[in-house]
């Protein structure tokens, strides 16, 4: 299993009005909800990358979020991706200029797929993460918009392929069926994505145990695994998770 690039562990922080929304269990932090402090703690624990999602869509929220990105860039030395409400090149420019390494586009890219081409032509594929929220309905895997509220007729696998062809550098796939349930990632769908595409796939939605991460890498063939609450609530410390993965033969950076 040690072939190829190291598998990445990525904590995800939902940020609203400058604060992390999902509760946190970190002690010794000045503000447990401060995304910069939290990101720093994750970085020190061995996270490979971080994702910060702006869930305050208002203009005022944007300003707060951009200021936070600047602070993160000053304090953290691992790559980080930012997403939420990115609709045009100006949004991407503002966040990269503030110090983000990558941007994640979701609903806006489904509504206007050319956005992916524009971002990658201007800034390079490595900057563009295409996030896809999908659910396994009776008629197959469908992509959803607006934080999983609106169903589209786009099929997960077709849209992921198109995103790759348009230049996206990575796919961040969240299974809505698995999200928050802590019963494991959507490994069959992940494996199909990994087989269909040649860009990295980030698994999201479903982490509850260390074994779930292992399965995402072994069964799901994912390149990275993202999680929120198991890290925020201290249920799975990152150093322990990485030691466990290494012991099971998975190549991770320790």
As annotated, the active-site residues are 14, 133
Helix H, strand E, coil C: the string for 106-171 is CHHHHHCCHHHHHHHHHHCHHHEEEEEEEEEECCEEEEEECCCCEEEEEEHHHHHHHHHHCCCCEE
- CA 177, CA 232: separation in Å to the nearest integer? 21
- CA 4, CA 11: separation in Å to the nearest integer? 22
Contact in structure between 47 and 55 (CB atoms under 8 Å):
no
Contact in structure between 182 and 155 (CB atoms under 8 Å):
no
Residues in Cβ contact with 31 at an 8 Å cutoff, skipping those fewer than 6 apart: 19, 37
């Amino acid at each position: 299993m040690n072939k190829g690039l190291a598998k990445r562990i990525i904590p995800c922080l939902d940020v609203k009005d400058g604060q992390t929304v999902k509760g946190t269990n970190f002690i010794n932090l000045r503000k447990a909800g401060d995304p910069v402090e939290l990101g720093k703690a994750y970085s020190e624990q061995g996270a490979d990358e971080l994702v910060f999602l702006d869930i305050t869509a208002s203009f005022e929220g944007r300003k707060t979020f951009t200021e936070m990105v600047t602070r993160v860039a000053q304090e953290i030395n691992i790559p980080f991706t930012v997403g939420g409400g990115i609709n045009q090149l100006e949004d991407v420019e503002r966040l990269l200029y503030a110090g983000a390494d990558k941007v994640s586009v979701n609903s806006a890219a489904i509504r206007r797929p050319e956005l992916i081409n524009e971002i990658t032509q201007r800034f390079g594929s490595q900057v563009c993460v295409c996030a896809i929220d999908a659910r396994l309905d009776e008629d197959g895997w469908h992509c959803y918009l607006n934080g999983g509220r609106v169903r589209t007729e786009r099929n997960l696998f077709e849209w992921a392929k198109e995103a790759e062809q348009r230049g996206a550098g990575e796919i961040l796939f969240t299974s809505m069926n698995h999200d928050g349930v802590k019963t494991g990632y959507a490994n069959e769908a992940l494996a199909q994505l990994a087989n269909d595409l040649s860009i990295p796939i980030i698994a999201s939605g479903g982490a509850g145990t260390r074994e779930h991460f292992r399965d995402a890498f072994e069964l799901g063939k994912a390149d990275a695994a993202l999680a929120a609450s198991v890290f925020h609530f201290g249920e799975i410390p990152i150093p322990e998770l990485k030691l466990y993965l290494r012991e099971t033969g998975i190549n991770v950076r320790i």
